[in-house]
Amino acid sequence: MFRGFLLCSERINPAGFAFERSRAKWMLLVTDAIIVIALSLPTAPSRGACVSPLVGTLTIALAVVVAFLRLVAEPATTDAAFERAGS
């Protein structure tokens, strides 16, 4: 939802969009980190959770995908979309 707000902000206020993007960067990073941790902790083997191996593996795989998207794919696509548009 917040990323949708950024798209709306880009269209309505293009002059202030760079500021909005920089302000939102850390909020999105923290939120994505919380999601990754929340997905990883309940399925950790050391926690002794009653989770089937398949469900635990898939949940940890989802956490890895979310982390990958946040750390690699999202910055690359954001830079490609907004840096080229500004130049």
pLDDT digits (tens, 9 = 90+) for 8-35: 888 888 888 888 888 888 888 888 888 8
> Crossing angle for the helix pair 2-12 and 17-40, nearest 10 degrees?
170
* % the chain with pLDDT above 70: 79
Q: What's the rounded mean pLDDT across residues 58-62?
A: 85
Q: Domain residues of the chain, as ranges?
A: 2-86
Residues in Cβ contact with 57 at an 8 Å cutoff, skipping those fewer than 6 apart? 43
Banded pLDDT at 87 (limits 50, 70, 90): very low
Least confident piece of the model among 2-6, 8-12, 43-47: 43-47
Which among 8, 4, 79 is positioned nearest to 16, based on CA atoms? 8
pTM: 0.66
Instruction: Determine the Cα–Cα distance for residues 6 and 51; give it in Å rounded to an integer.
Output: 37
pLDDT at 84 over 60: no
